[in-house]
Copies of this chain bind each other. A is one copy, B any other.
Amino acid sequence: MSESVYIGVDVGATKILVGAVTPAGRILSSRRFRMEHETQERTLQSIHLALETFMQDWNGLLPRAIGIGLVGQIDPLTGTWLEALNLPIESPVPLAGQVHPRYGLPVALDNDVHAATLAELRWGIGTQSNDFIYLNIGTGVAAGLVFGGHLLRGAKNYAGELGHMVIQPDGVPCPCGRRGCLEAIASGGGILGRVRDEIGNYPDSILHSFKESLTTEQIFTATDAGDTLATKISNDAIQALGIALANLVNLFNPEWIVYGGGTLSDGWLIEHARKSVETEPLSMIRKSLRGILSSRLNTERVGLLGAACLAMDMEGIT
């Protein structure tokens, strides 16, 4: 098995990471590409170009298969990209069928959070636990739910949309059509959007100095420095995340919550929400939660590892 290699393609809303991964989880080579996402056509061109460039430069073993992790809704059985809230996918794309003939290799497709969760199951917390939640907060919020050692996919592979759990029924509007969704309050996109919406009312906020380059990390730092606007937005995010995770723990009785990169990468947000998650669920459920911890996998690479896992799973590599 050490003599085989799989290609992973991690497609995000702003970048594409392509790499060659061994069944032991070693990344032999990887490269980051820009996602041009003005239209559906440009989005797909970006993916094809990234993969093609990587494959042309790759001079190692012939890969066994290609796995692609994508934002949004995917039908893994037909290899179709159905929908994405953060990218302009306006009609279903038979992406596996488009990629397969170019390289003559099997192609597996899935949601990026499912993919990262499979990496966590194969090389991360899954090596010691069968019941865990993998939490990902970036532009959006999603959860990979693993029970009895299996990823919970639901009827049509869409399970895990934690971001659209309503936390404040009269809260801020969410692009999904509801109000007060976790994603609108506590995701990177939600936090930045709320600062943009409210900054006009806070002329003295130090966040004015960052302008277009503002990041959630800067907002958290400004909160620690006592900035009123940053504190308000951060506190709402902390409270919402605490409520959502305590709800999730009551629903699933997980042994671990493992979190990945993006908005959670510096740990600030989840460390502030930790107390709620550890104290608010029902007592027996709370007691069986062993911990909330950062993934041992490289958070910048877990999407790539997950995409490669899709290819390995398809080929039956254990």
Contact = CB atoms under 8 A, between A and B. Distances in A.
Interface string A150-168: 1011111111111011111
A141 to B, nearest CB: 11
B247 A166 contact: yes
A152 B155 contact: no
How many copies, total? Answer: 2
A243 B166 contact: yes
Indicate the size class of the contact surface on chain A.
Answer: 35 or more
Majority SS at the chain A contact face: loop
A285 B161 contact: yes
B156 A243 contact: no
B252 A284 contact: no
Contacts of A251: 143, 145, 159-162, 165, 248, 251
A176 interface: yes
A243 to B, nearest CB: 5
B152 A250 contact: no
B156 A284 contact: yes
Contacts of A129: 155
A239 interface: yes
A282 B169 contact: no
A10 interface: no
B280 A158 contact: no
B161 A152 contact: no
A192 interface: no
A317 to B, nearest CB: 21
A83 B162 contact: no
19 contacts: A83-B284, A129-B155, A143-B251, A147-B147, A152-B252, A156-B284, A157-B253, A158-B284, A159-B252, A161-B281, A162-B250, A164-B247, A165-B247, A165-B251, A166-B167, A166-B243, A166-B246, A169-B243, A178-B280
Top 5 nearest A-B pairs (CB, nearest first) are A154-B253, A155-B255, A156-B288, A161-B250, A158-B253
